[in-house]
Amino acid sequence: MSPNSSKVFSLAEANELVSRVADLTASVVMQLDSIRQEYNLESEKGIVQMPQSMLKEVEKTLSEWSNQIVEMGAAPKGYFTVDFQSLDPELLYCWTYGEERIKFTHKVWENFSHRRPLAESAEGSTDHLKWVN
């Protein structure tokens, strides 16, 4: 799947994928924490600036996370926030690390700060069906 295309998800399909996204994200968070702990040990030795090798490892880890999210058909938005294109072309389901399922949505032209609870924007609504032939 190309980086500029995304899959269209029903809410149920997106929530099915959330467990994979959450597991992947938890693994990456642990990897980053390991790098942070290694840096903390180095900084105790008087090394103030993070070594270039550690910065490259962080960059690689985050890039791989992002690429895997895209391969699943979703869109990474910042680190550890993922959007899923809903059946309504104007509506995205929004998940962020720590959430067990999708609880929020926002319009495609909005961002994380515009998230609305699912019940207010999509759950129970049939407005999105107007786009389905």
> Please, what is the Cα angle at 52 between 46 and 55, to 5 degrees?
100
Sign of the alpha-carbon dihedral angle for 114, 117, 118, 122: negative
Distance between first and last Cα of the chain: 24
**β-sheet with 104-107: strand ranges across:** 75-76, 81-85, 91-96, 104-107, 116-117
Task: Count other C-beta atoms under 10 Å from residue 21's C-beta.
Answer: 21
How much is the pTM?
0.79
The per-residue pLDDT for 133 is 34
The per-residue pLDDT for 121 is 53
The per-residue pLDDT for 45 is 73
Query: For residue 132, which phi and psi values (nearest 5 degrees)?
Result: -100, 125
Mean pLDDT by 10 residues, the chain (133 residues): 66 96 96 89 73 91 96 93 95 95 94 85 46 40
The per-residue pLDDT for 5 is 53
The per-residue pLDDT for 128 is 47
Q: Read out DSSP for the chain?
A: --TT---B--HHHHHHHHHHHHHHHHHHHHHHHHHHHHHHHHHHTT--SPPHHHHHHHHHHHHHHHHHHHHTT-EE-STTEEEEE-SSTTEEEEEETT-SS--EEEETT--GGG-EEHHHHTTT--GGGGG--
The per-residue pLDDT for 126 is 46
